[in-house]
Amino acid sequence: MSIIKNGIILGIAVFFAACGGKEQPAVEAAAEQPALASGTVYLTKAQIQQAGIQTGTYDKRHLAAELPVNGEMLLNKENTALVSVVTDGVLTNLKVRINQSVRKGEILATLFKPNLVDLQQQFLENRDKLQYAQAEYDRYKNLRDADATAGKNLSKAEAELRAARTLDQVLGAKLKQYQIDPASLQADKLHTEILLRAPISGTVTEVMAGTGTAMSAGSALCEISDFSQLHPVFYVFEKDLSKVKNGQKVNVRFPSEPGVFHPARVYDVEHTLDPMRKSVRVHARFERQTPEHAVSGAFLDARLLLGGDAESNALPSAAVIREQDEHYIFILEKEDAEGATFRKVAVRTGGTDSSHVAVSPVEDLTKDARIVVKGAYYVSAQGAGLEVEE
């Protein structure tokens, strides 16, 4: 029994000795990791190579100060028209379709109105009465001058002439509503259809009725939009309103063209705060033709130029990290054969172009400071303990 007991004790001792021998290198390895201060990130040489991290220094560039804003393409209500009928009738000979371009005054459809003949008949009959009333008035006026008749007959003729003239004007106005010229109306050329014309030039965006539809007064036929008046609208926060004015230049960019800017200028700043967006709408017009791919409601981002074009310290846009409302860069603080330590530095950003942004560190950096110009987001993610795909 003593032999067995000694063997068990010996085995346990050997097991713990073996375990202790394996744990010791791990402890030593952990002890070799550098102690990191807040805002610093340590990367091994392998990580640096895999992420393609590169360091450099500032570029000197002329970058104007800018205010980044978001917006959309907008077509004002005054640049759209709803074509409606002014009287009842049956729609005939529809000439338009959706997405068709039309010119102002172009015939869109015809409206058949049988009782339109009655109105023309009344006008023609009254026109004959007007001629007779005029002749009677002239006759009684001449007789009165010669004291050959009583003045009351002249007064009666004058009243009948006045009534005929009034009716002529009223019926003539009604005919003009139906696009019939009273001066050229003849008994052998009566109209039974009303021509519906385009009130503006543009594109037909919606058709509400088809051939044969019985229309009532006020019924809509189609909608026309003048997309040549499509323009960018930006949403500027109240705190930035003092930086915006009419005539200011703005560079507009669409998501479909990330590297292309379209120059425009501000022409109107609204005076009402949007309660949902907590911002004010700013309208602009393109300096050149409106881009063909621009559509109403399309999202866009832009940069309002605030003036100033001095030479600035600039870095590639990818070198500047944004965390909430702050911006940061990383500088190489220490490097050895095993890896390197990077430190996060807060910066203020200024003007930008398609590839660079002006930066001003909130603390003084040495002239030979090595700034991470490629792979800054990888360094930031490692410092936050995030997984980054190779």
Q: How far apart are CA 175 and CA 272, in angstroms?
A: 44
| Radius of gyration from C-alpha coordinates of the chain | 42
Percentage of the chain beyond pLDDT 70 is: 85
Boundary-marking domain end, from 225, 242, 270: 225
- Cα–Cα–Cα angle for 177, 183, 187, nearest 5°? 95
Q: Output the pTM of the full model.
A: 0.57
pLDDT for 256 equals: 81
21 lies in some domain: no
**Per-residue CA distances from 142 to 32, 33, 103, 331 (Å):** 129, 125, 55, 110
Q: In CATH, what number is assigned to the domain containing residue 198?
A: 2.40.50.100
Do residues 345 and 327 share a domain? Answer: yes
7 lies in some domain: no
pLDDT for 182 equals: 87
Do residues 287 and 316 share a domain? Answer: no
Do residues 102 and 214 share a domain? Answer: yes
Q: Are 74 and 282 in contact (CB under 8 A)?
A: no
Residues of the chain with pLDDT under 70: 1-37, 145-151, 258-259, 307-310, 354, 385-390
Can you spell out the DSSP letters for 327-349?
Answer: EEEEEEEEE-SSEEEEEEEEEEE
pLDDT for 148 equals: 57
237 lies in some domain: yes
- Domain count along the chain: 4
CB proximity list for 57: less than 8 A, separation 6 or greater: 368, 369, 370, 371
pLDDT tens profile 176-225: 888 888 888 888 888 888 889 999 999 999 999 999 999 998 899 999 99
Do residues 221 and 264 share a domain? Answer: no
25 lies in some domain: no
211 in helix, strand or coil? coil
Do residues 352 and 294 share a domain? Answer: no
**Per-residue CA distances from 1 to 11, 13, 166, 317 (Å):** 15, 18, 139, 78
Boundary-marking domain end, from 307, 339, 362: 307
Q: How far apart are CA 116 and CA 133, in angstroms?
A: 26
Q: Indicate the average pLDDT of the chain.
A: 83
Do residues 268 and 236 share a domain? Answer: yes
pLDDT for 352 equals: 72
CB atoms inside a 10 Å sphere around CB 284: 23
pLDDT for 242 equals: 87
9 lies in some domain: no
pLDDT for 375 equals: 93
270 lies in some domain: yes
Do residues 254 and 300 share a domain? Answer: yes
The boundaries of the domain holding residue 170 are 115-189
* Joined tokens for residue 145: 């001058």
Q: Are 353 and 62 in contact (CB under 8 A)?
A: no
Q: In CATH, what number is assigned to the domain containing residue 335?
A: 2.40.420.20
Do residues 148 and 237 share a domain? Answer: no
2 lies in some domain: no
pLDDT for 313 equals: 87
Do residues 184 and 170 share a domain? Answer: yes
Boundary-marking domain end, from 281, 307, 333: 307
Q: Are 246 and 269 in contact (CB under 8 A)?
A: yes
pLDDT tens profile 229-250: 999 999 999 888 888 999 999 9
8 lies in some domain: no
Do residues 100 and 200 share a domain? Answer: yes
pLDDT for 73 equals: 94
pLDDT for 147 equals: 65
Runs of H (alpha helix) within 187-273 = none
Torsion angle of the four alpha carbons 222, 227, 232, 235, in this order, in degrees rounded to the nearest 10: -10
CB atoms inside a 10 Å sphere around CB 12: 10
Q: In CATH, what number is assigned to the domain containing residue 248?
A: 2.40.30.170
Do residues 196 and 110 share a domain? Answer: yes
For residue 378, the 8-state DSSP code is H
Residue 387: exposed, middle, or buried by beta-carbon count in 10 A (0-12, 13-18, 19+)?
exposed
Do residues 214 and 274 share a domain? Answer: no
Give the number of C-alpha atoms closer than 13 A to the C-alpha of residue 170, restricted to the C-beta side.
9
